[in-house]
Amino acid sequence: MRLAIVGSGYVGLVAATCFAELGHDVVCVDNEAAKLSALRRGEIPIHEEFLPELLARHRGERLTFSASLTEAVGSSDLVFIAVGTPAGQNGECDLSYVESVSREIAGAVNGYKLVVEKSTVPVCTSEWIRKVMLLEGAPEDSFDVASNPEFLREGSAVTDFLYPDRIVIGADSERAAAMLRKLYQPLITGAYRKHKGAVPAPDDARPVPQLIVTSAKSAELIKHASNAFLAMKISFINAVATICESVGADIEQVREGIGSDARIGRRFLEPGIGYGGSCFPKDLKAFRAVARECGYDFRLLDEVININDEQCQRFLRKVRAALWTLKGKRLAVLGLSFKGGTDDIRESPAIALVRLLLAEGCEVAAYDPAAMERARETLDGSVSYCESAYDAATAADALLILTDWEEFGALDLERLRACLNYPIIIDGRNLYQPEALAERGFIYFSVGRPDAVPKKSSAAKKRSVEI
């Protein structure tokens, strides 16, 4: 099929590349000349596994890039809107980009087009897109508007797209639903995974995804409600971790008991320093704003947000408990992105914590496998950026783990201890077992678990540490 995807940001670029991988002809439209030039050269603006390989495979053939929305719409059967919907005042989505693109699409219609929302938008946005296009003169029978929300996790977006749990098609006409079924046919039938050269399927991937066909409004709500529920699970387990710390219980044992219940499940029950990224913070506030617009005070969402906001302050208190005073302390920070596997620092709790540490007068030496260039753009010059975890730890008074990169859970502990002034690790992602760290001579703090202290006072390398 012939597709135009408007927007080459995170959602648009992943979708465009993956649709090309499924055999469709895709033109990706953007109005940033520098970004288009880079993409045409094969340069990837985001850190995402398998994306460079797929772009190299399809660039210039099934996948092209254009600055002309009119030409892209004219040559396409389906037009996906994947532009930004930043948070506006009171948490409401700023839909001005969606409206602007809808007007341009209306002016370029030269036959039947299916316009598909791919951006995360509030319920009833599909209705507004249709109204705008009619007002701009698009004939009523020349287009339909559908919703096809994405459920991509940064760091695994390509495999999430190609091996999804479910595909949601929100269409108010059978013609639109049929076109979207055809579009996703290689995934719905499981044919894609049999292709030579297909991206490897994750171990837990379903043989075929569940296809869910709904109204456009229901699909719009599914996206917001899904993200709100996942964020609620994160805040819930963080609140339970706080109780564990107070009574001396172990959150890992508690989450095992909770997550073993098939009605609940283990995913997203991982305690830490809070959620971040471009989706959960924005989507929760937008969903809350939608509820208020409908006359409903969704107070549960307020508490999910409040608990998440408190996590950084709770972790800062944990750092104080480990070091007593913070002014003048040199701290090694591992992780700046909001999660492992991505260079995205938007709403990153790691960045928020670095700012709090700097405000306390700390000297911060940071390392992240992918996000340091982006961090340099937002943090002031008082942060030192290092080439490795061990460089960051050299002469540091404590090591803070703020992002769950796999390599942070596989450090050479003997080498690490030799680098640090004091063998203190404060782990905001629970990457290690407390007893194992204590046996290796570390004073170890984590989230929702008892602190671990070596039995021998000689664990401190340069001088004794009392806590």
CATH superfamily, region 309-459: NAD(P)-binding Rossmann-like Domain (3.40.50.720)
3-state secondary structure of 63: strand
Active-site option among 18, 28, 244, 279? 279
Q: Percent of the chain having pLDDT more than 90?
A: 93
> Taking the chain, what is the end-to-end CA distance rounded to the nearest angstrom?
65
pLDDT one-digit tens code per residue, 287-324: 999 999 999 999 999 999 999 999 999 999 999 999 99
Residue 28 has pLDDT above 80, yes or no: yes
pLDDT, one tens digit per residue, over 107-116 is 999 999 999 9
- Output the DSSP codes for 82-121: -----B-GGG-B--HHHHHHHHHHHHH--S-EEEEE-S--
Q: Which helix (H) or strand (E) holds 80?
A: strand 78-81
pLDDT at 460 over 50: no
Lookup: tokens for 102:
């809808």
Q: How far is CA 84 from CA 100, 442, 443, 453, in A?
A: 12, 45, 44, 47
% residues pLDDT > 70 (the chain): 97
In this predicted structure, the answer to whether residue 167 has a pLDDT above a threshold of 80 is: yes
Residue 461 scores a pLDDT above 80: no
* Residues of each domain in the chain carrying CATH 3.40.50.720: 2-214, 235-307, 309-459
Mean pLDDT, rounded, for 328-357: 96
Q: Are 84 and 9 in contact (CB under 8 A)?
A: yes
- Residue 279 annotated as catalytic: yes
Please state, in angstroms and as integers, the Cα–Cα distance from residue 154 to each residue in 105, 160, 248, following that order: 29, 9, 34
Return phi, psi of residue 452, to 5°.
Answer: -120, 130
CATH classification code of 235-307: 3.40.50.720
Q: Looking at residue 456, what is its pLDDT?
A: 65
d(CA 376, CA 379): 5
- Please write the tens of the pLDDT for every residue from 69-93: 999 999 999 999 999 998 877 788 8
Given a contact cutoff of 8 angstroms between Cβ atoms, the answer to whether 16 and 5 are in contact is yes
Enter the CATH code of domain 2-214: 3.40.50.720
Q: Tens digits of per-residue pLDDT, 118-151?
A: 988 999 999 999 999 999 999 999 999 999 999 9
DSSP code for 333: E
